[in-house]
Structure 1
Amino acid sequence: MAEVLAAVRKCLTGFPAEARELHVLECVPYLNVPPSPLKFFREWICPNRPCIIRNAFSHWPALHKWTFSYFRKVVGSKEVSVAVTPSGYADAVYEDKFVMPEERLMPFGSFLDILEKKVKLPGVFYVQKQCSNLMAEFSELVGDVEPHISWMSEALGKKPDAVNFWLGEATAVTSLHKDHYENLYCVISGEKQFLLHPPSDRPFIPYEFYQPATYHMSEDGTFQVVDEKGAEKVPWIPLDPLNPDYIKYPDYAQAKALQCTVKAGEMLYLPSLWFHHVQQSHGCIAVNFWYDMEYDIKYTYFQLLDSLTQALTHS
């Protein structure tokens, strides 16, 4: 049995290097214009490769209209959902728990006061609610963008499952994770820094199961971590790729991340199942489109890779 496990481990640890040689690019390439739907499907979606696309939404009014003063005029008094955390890490492992942000309803204008440092409150604030929050909470802004990306919708034969609006402080960070979506991430102003791992790096990326919990701010301004009672444990990545603990997670030293900066007016195509960690400039404004992935043989192969990695980790 030990010999079999050693052979499987050798195959798994060699797989990411082979995938990089045959498939994964050394850096995220740029396209100066969006390709045709067929070309994009053949060259980027099917190979599951990321790219940054310029001039993909240069016709959007949002690029010149979306300022804080415009937001105050159009949405200012409306209550919206804001994620609040003590450190900027929402949906992340903290003290051996998977901790979600406190979700606070507040007038959008009050949130903008915090971003502009007119008001100082405890915590880090980030408009990051998904589930198509652009349509649900910021409908006044929908006419400044598009409800879908036409060439992507044609390439996939479907409309996006969600269109999300993002705005927050520079200290708001998205922890390393993956999504089951083909993601088009459009930066309207500021910039986003992405650290990416292809799905083939899964053998080097640790996962554990954690008790889910939520931050709650007390009257004195301190944050408490409150368990979600009765909830099932959540699988999540405990590692911080910006400061990895190689003693605790030695296999991660063999992973090879791609890093890219997506600037205002640029769109990142982030393929399904790619691991990503995200930082941003202060007050960065972005919109992203989530298209559900195809649960085809690619997904099945990844599930096999994931299952084998978990089995070896706990053997």
Structure 2
Amino acid sequence: MDAVKERLADFSLEAHDLYLSQSVAHVDGPPDPLHFYRNWIGPNKPCIIRNAFSHWPALSRWTPAYLREKVGSKVISVAVTPDGYADAVKDDRFVMPEERRMTFSSVLDILEGKVKQHGVFYVQKQCSNLLDELPELTDDVEVHVPWMSTALGKVPDAVNFWLGEADAVTSLHKDHYENIYCVISGQKNFILLPPTDRPFVPYGLYQPAVYRQQDNGDFEVVDQSDSEKVPWIPLDPLNPDLERYPMYGRARPLHCSVKAGEMLYLPSLWFHHVQQTHGCMAVNFWYDMDFDIKYNYFQLLDALSDLTGSP
């Protein structure tokens, strides 16, 4: 079994040597669909695309004053946590945020420091919350990325809106989507690991729970005892516990920053951890991945990693 474990590690390192770069490339947009598919989607490699949505009115319109006037009275779903970590492992629980219904103006009041609240607030519901909760803003963006839709031969499954405090963190995870992530204002900071680094990424099964804020402002963790355990990554790439997870020391994470007016192509099955500047706004598009031979290979790699106890 040790020989298999070492071969899995070699497999990952070979991928870095053969086709993965040491940094995330920048390309000019909007790209040609066939060219983009051949150079980025097919090889499953991330890139940052410049000047691909400079025509969106949102880049100039989405000021606090405009948003208050346009959607200030709209009630939206907001994730609230004590420390900014939503959907993350804490004390051997997979803890989800408290989902609170608030007006958009109330969120802006918190972000602008006009109202003091316990906890960290993040508009991050996903599930196409831009289209479902804030359709008034769709005239300022696009409901799909035309060249990406052409490249993939499909439209996105979801279009999501993101807005939050600097302390809001997205824990390390992966998605089954081809992700186009567009930053409208502020900056997003990503830590990325390719699917081939799966042998170095620890997983566990955790009891699901949710945060619930009490009347005194403190948060309690409430177990979801009727729910199945959730597979999740316990490691924090900002401060990895290499004594507990020594194999992660062999991973080669990529770090990149996506600024206002730039979009990140985040390929399917790439592990990612996300931070942001205060008040950062973004829109992302989730295109369902093709469940082809690459997915088949990843499933094999995933199963072997679990079987050998990697990392």
Q: TM-score, normalised by structure 1?
A: 0.98
Task: Map 1:199-278; keep pairs closer than 5 Å.
Answer: 199-278=195-274
Assess, with a 3 A threshold, how the Cα gap between structure 1 residues 70 and 16 changes in structure 2: closer, same or farther.
same
Distance 1:291 1:154 in 2: 12
Aligned counterparts, 1:1-315, within 5 A: 5-313=1-309
CA displacement 1:195-234 (0-9 Å, x = unmatched): 0000000000000000000000011110010011210000
| Per-residue deviation, residues 16-51 of structure 1 (Å, max 9, x unmatched) | 110001111111000122221111111100000000
Kindly provide the amino acid, as one letter, of the partner of residue 54 in structure 1: R
AA in 2 matched with 1:89 = Y
Amino acid at match of 1:204: F
| Runs (5+) with no aligned partner, structure 1 | none
For residue 138 of structure 2, give the secondary structure of its aligned residue in structure 1. Answer: helix
CA distance in 2, matches of 1:313, 1:31: 38
Unmatched 5+ residue regions in structure 2?
none
Structure 1 residue 314, shift from structure 2 partner = 8.0
The structural deviation recorded for 1:7 is 1.9
Aligned-pair CA distance for 1:6:
2.1
Distance, in Å, in 2 between the alignment partners of 1:247 and 1:299 is: 31
Deviations 1:31-86 (A, max 9, x none): 12222111111110000000000010000000000011111001111111000000
Tell me the percent identity.
Answer: 67
SS of match in other structure, 1:119: coil
Partner amino acid for 2:17? E
Contact 2:203 2:232 in 1 (8 A): yes
